[in-house]
């Protein structure tokens, strides 16, 4: 790890052993960023007087049988004894037993210099894991709505980040492509004809196709004639389930058109999912019967009110009654949970997963916890497999309610993206009247999509947020376009620099340079944290901080006009490094950084 805390940690551990004895081997050095609370009556936090704080003394004092301040002093003495000048210029015992650490400028400069030479800009490679990642997962013949936008965007960022950390991510787009509605959908497709305009709706306006099929079904539901639409639709379900070749062929046509629709959205959003990542519900269809038989035979499941149920410890309904996973309904049909048990069994046993991650709306949390417990009870979950639900919160309209259209439908993802690109277009037209139309259009697309994604990613994934286009596309504030703009500005500085000037080596002469360099050193640690916590908003917050540190640097330190030449070369190197970290970080969020803005 390239951050200072990681460099300091082994030295402090050695000092603790030297100061307190061998039994303190491996003690946590408790290194934290230096923080100061504002004094009573004081408004702002004073400028930090140090960089890091070693807090181990307070934790170890009792065990060591010595007062904390004395322990802190002993650690400082041991650090000095070992030699610490290369890393820290100042160590000061403060308060109840903190050690305040001021890093050596030369260490910070050298570490930044090393980072510039590092292809991975400090991103570590922890022990590699196999991680099936279930995300996006829209439903066939249904519009992707704003909820799917967030599971898609957050999931894709996690896929990119985990892959960058060296894990083997198996993308699992668990689309809803099976179940009773497919009877009416197939029958409707047959009736309108595969080549008809109505069928083409599957690719452009799938909700309309679904609604038309559903309307026919509802209208004929009570019609007892054996050839009514509803009767034929019900028969189709049976045919589909028994694998009738003709029915399957039409179902596949339906699927193909839906896939074309999903892929168009993914391409437009720059999402890394392809057909190879499909892990639709239908894939597990053949396993559901045998799974139920197994569960019943081994006594994991039992019949209750005609349904086959798995009862689990710790799951009770609101009425206090046990809440089972129903794996086979009393009519013989299998449900969403049965498919998810099959999918988890596959991911754990066949794919040999270390973590199985579900990026799905928060309301499905109970469903997942029950599916995991049932799969574990059946013995189909490896000990090492850890299932995790990344809970996605709602996207709200400016009225504070779930985003819906005037007619009450959930707002489609496509319409949101279109609106964002349009809005970004007006922003770009204002900021860059000098560019031609085509250039502006391509920037507007990157900015519009970046704005939406960043809005999704900059708040913690489980909290709700208000979808406010005006705020999202603004070039100032904590927005995607602000970060894209910071990157474009650095690009323009580097373009204007003399081609003959090679950036670096990095030397630190001004506080703003030091602040920027220190932020840059933290990048790898932040990416690693996202890989653990599965919280992309930490990376977003870091990048926003970095862009602000860059702004501070740029305001206080001229780059192209800097003198002497060494200072200019160093500042160009800081610019180049900032650009690399910004562009890399944005790419992990799935956001592109246009050359110009
Ligand atoms: N298709 C479901 C929906 O739209 C999401 C599926 C999530 N993944 C899973 N393994 N259940 O709500």
E strands, 449-569, in order: 465-466
pLDDT at 44 over 90: no
CA-closest candidate to residue 290, choices 324, 323, 328: 328
Q: Per residue in 103-125, pLDDT tens?
A: 999 999 999 999 999 999 999 99
Torsion, CA 487, CA 490, CA 496, CA 500, rounded to 10: -110
Give pLDDT, residue 536. Answer: 98
- Predicted TM-score (pTM) of the model is 0.94
Q: Per residue in 140-193, pLDDT tens?
A: 887 777 778 899 999 999 999 999 999 999 999 999 999 889 999 999 999 999
For 252, residues 6+ apart whose C-beta sits below 8 A from its C-beta are: none
Ligand 1 atom nearest 139 alpha carbon? 1
Give pLDDT, residue 47. Answer: 62
Give pLDDT, residue 499. Answer: 73
Other C-beta atoms closer than 10 Å to the C-beta of 249 total 12
To which residue do tokens 């990542």 refer? 277
Q: Pick the residue with more confidence: 123 or 42?
A: 123
Residue 456's pLDDT band (boundaries 50, 70, 90)?
A: very high
Q: Is 578 exposed, middle or buried (0-12, 13-18, 19+ CB in 10 A)?
A: buried
Give pLDDT, residue 593. Answer: 97
Cis-peptide, bond into residue 505, ω within 30° of zero: yes
Q: Per residue in 395-420, pLDDT tens?
A: 888 888 877 777 777 677 788 899 99
What Cα–Cα distance (Å) separates residue 354 from each residue in 384, 388, 528? 6, 11, 17
pLDDT at 68 over 70: yes
Ligand 1 center to 517 CA (angstroms)? 43
Q: Per residue in 203-248, pLDDT tens?
A: 988 888 999 999 999 999 898 898 999 999 999 999 998 899 999 9
Ligand 1 atom nearest 368 alpha carbon? 11
Q: Give the chain's mean pLDDT.
A: 93
Q: Which of 279, 364, 370 to mutate to test the pocket of ligand 1 (most atoms within 8 A of CB)?
A: 364
What Cα–Cα distance (Å) separates residue 572 from each residue in 348, 504, 505, 576? 49, 7, 9, 6
Ligand 1 atom nearest 142 alpha carbon? 4
Query: Distance between CA atoms of 206 and 238, rounded to whole angstroms?
Result: 24
Strand 98-103, strand 88-94: pairing? antiparallel
Q: What are the structure tokens assigned to 194, written together?
A: 């595969």
E strands, 281-344, in order: 302-304, 307-310, 325-328
Range of lowest pLDDT (218-222, 275-279, 484-488): 218-222
Ligand 1 center to 126 CA (angstroms)? 30
Q: What are the structure tokens assigned to 252, written together?
A: 């596949």
Beta bridge partners of 325: 310
Ligand 1 center to 281 CA (angstroms)? 9
Give pLDDT, residue 38. Answer: 56
**Cα 295 from chain centroid?**
35
C-beta separation of 265 from 142 below 8 A: no
Give pLDDT, residue 135. Answer: 98
E strands, 335-433, in order: 355-361, 386-392, 395-396
Ligand 1 center to 535 CA (angstroms)? 20
Give pLDDT, residue 446. Answer: 97
Ligand 1 center to 149 CA (angstroms)? 13
Calculate ∠ Cα 198-202-207, nearest 5°.
95
Give pLDDT, residue 141. Answer: 84
CA-closest candidate to residue 361, choices 398, 385, 391: 391
Other C-beta atoms closer than 10 Å to the C-beta of 477 total 10
For 477, residues 6+ apart whose C-beta sits below 8 A from its C-beta are: 471
For 286, residues 6+ apart whose C-beta sits below 8 A from its C-beta are: none
Buried b (16+ CB within 10 A) or exposed e, 281-300: bbbbbebbeebbeebbeeeb
Residues with CB under 6 Å of ligand 1 are 134, 137-139, 174, 176, 340, 343, 358, 360
pLDDT at 355 over 70: yes
Residue 467's pLDDT band (boundaries 50, 70, 90)?
A: confident
pLDDT at 35 over 90: no
Beta bridge partners of 139: 176
Residue 48's pLDDT band (boundaries 50, 70, 90)?
A: low
Residue 40's pLDDT band (boundaries 50, 70, 90)?
A: low
Ligand 1 center to 285 CA (angstroms)? 15
Q: Per residue in 517-538, pLDDT tens?
A: 999 999 999 999 999 999 999 9
Range of lowest pLDDT (11-15, 354-358, 403-407): 403-407
Give pLDDT, residue 204. Answer: 87
Q: Per residue in 418-442, pLDDT tens?
A: 999 999 999 999 989 999 999 999 9
């Amino acid at each position: 790890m390239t951050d200072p805390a990681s460099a300091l940690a082994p030295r402090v551990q050695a000092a603790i052993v030297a100061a307190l004895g061998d039994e303190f081997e491996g003690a946590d050095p408790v290194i934290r960023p230096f923080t100061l609370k504002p004094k009573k009556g004081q408004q702002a936090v004073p400028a930090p007087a140090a960089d890091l704080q070693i807090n181990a003394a307070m934790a170890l004092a009792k065990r060591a049988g010595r007062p904390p301040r004395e322990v802190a002093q002993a650690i400082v003495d041991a650090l000095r004894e070992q030699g610490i000048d290369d890393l820290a210029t100042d160590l000061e015992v403060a308060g109840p037993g903190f050690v305040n650490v001021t890093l050596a400028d030369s260490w910070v400069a050298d570490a930044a210099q090393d980072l510039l030479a590092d292809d991975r800009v400090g991103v570590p490679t922890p022990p590699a894991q196999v991680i099936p990642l279930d995300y996006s997962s829209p439903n066939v013949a249904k519009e992707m709505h704003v909820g799917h936008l967030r599971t898609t965007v957050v999931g894709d960022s996690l896929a990119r980040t985990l892959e960058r950390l060296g894990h083997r991510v198996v993308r699992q787009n668990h689309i809803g492509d099976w179940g009773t509605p497919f009877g009416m959908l197939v029958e409707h497709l047959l009736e309108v004809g595969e080549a008809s305009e109505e069928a083409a709706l599957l690719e452009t306006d799938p909700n309309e196709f679904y609604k038309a099929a559903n309307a026919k079904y509802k209208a004929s539901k009570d019609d007892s004639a054996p050839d009514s639409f509803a009767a034929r639709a019900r028969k189709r379900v049976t045919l589909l389930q028994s694998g009738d070749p003709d029915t399957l062929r039409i179902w596949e046509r339906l699927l193909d058109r839906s896939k074309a629709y999903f892929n168009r959205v993914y391409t437009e959003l720059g999402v890394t999912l392809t057909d190879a990542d499909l892990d639709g519900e239908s894939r597990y269809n053949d396993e559901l019967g045998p799974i139920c038989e197994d569960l019943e035979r081994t006594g994991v499941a039992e019949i209750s009110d005609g349904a086959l149920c798995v009862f689990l410890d710790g799951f009770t309904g609101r009425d206090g009654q046990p809440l089972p996973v129903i794996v086979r309904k009393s009519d013989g049909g299998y449900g969403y949970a049965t498919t998810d048990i099959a999918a988890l069994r596959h991911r754990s046993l066949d794919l040999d997963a270390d973590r199985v991650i579900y990026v799905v709306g928060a309301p499905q949390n109970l469903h997942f916890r029950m599916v995991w417990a049932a799969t574990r009870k059946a013995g189909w979950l490896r000990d090492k497999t850890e299932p995790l639900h990344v809970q996605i919160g709602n996207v709200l309209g400016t009225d504070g309610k779930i985003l819906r259209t005037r007619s009450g439908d959930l707002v489609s993802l496509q319409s949101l993206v279109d609106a964002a690109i349009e809005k970004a277009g007006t922003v770009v037209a204002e900021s860059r009247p000098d560019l031609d139309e085509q250039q502006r259009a391509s920037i507007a697309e990157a900015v519009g999509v970046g704005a939406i994604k960043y809005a999704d990613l900059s708040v913690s994934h489980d909290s709700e947020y208000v979808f406010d286009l005006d705020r999202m596309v603004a070039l100032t504030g904590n927005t995607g376009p602000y970060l894209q703009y910071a990157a474009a500005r650095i690009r323009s500085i580097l373009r204007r620099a003399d081609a003959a000037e090679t950036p670096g080596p990095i030397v630190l002469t001004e506080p703003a340079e030091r602040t920027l360099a220190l932020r840059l050193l933290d990048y790898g640690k932040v990416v690693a944290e996202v890989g653990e916590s599965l919280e992309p908003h930490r990376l977003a917050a870091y990048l926003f901080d970095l862009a602000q540190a860059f702004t501070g640097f740029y305001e206080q330190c001229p780059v192209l006009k800097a003198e002497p030449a060494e200072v200019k070369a160093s500042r160009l190197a800081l610019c180049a490094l900032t650009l690399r970290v910004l562009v890399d970080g944005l790419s992990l969020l799935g956001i592109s950084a246009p050359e110009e803005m």
